[in-house]
Amino acid sequence: MSENIRIDKWLWAARFFKTRSLATHAVDLGRVLQNQQRVKPAHTVKLGDLIEVHQGDQVWQITVVRILDVRGSASVAQTMYQETEESIAKRVLAAENKKLYQEPGAVLARRPTKRERRQLDFTRN
């Protein structure tokens, strides 16, 4: 356990990203904020830092509770951070909204067949 660790390595160890290179890329693109500021992948993480991680349509706001530089099991990774109450509420609300209002393209598992396209055209016109 070290006191100074890079943010990309901490995000990888906390299992927010599958590989360290994915974590580095996300930090470079500005999808990870530390104390409401964009940082570079080599920026160090300290206890008590507020980190905001944007992954797809999910936004995680977490506080650093523990610093480890090795990737452990999921149960160990969950002890490294504490999610804010506001973040939990937003994620639950977004999940409920996603269930109610699905994307139209998400329902389609494949391209429509010629027959299905004809039926769609007939109903539209």
Return the residue matching tokens 């139209």: 104
Q: What is the pLDDT of residue 107?
A: 67
Average pLDDT for runs of 10 along the chain of length 125: 85 96 96 96 95 92 94 94 95 88 73 90 87
Domain residue limits at 95: 5-124
Q: What is the pLDDT of residue 34?
A: 96
Q: What is the pLDDT of residue 50?
A: 96
Indicate the pTM of the whole model: 0.78
CATH number at 108 reads 3.10.290.10
How many domains does the chain divide into?
1
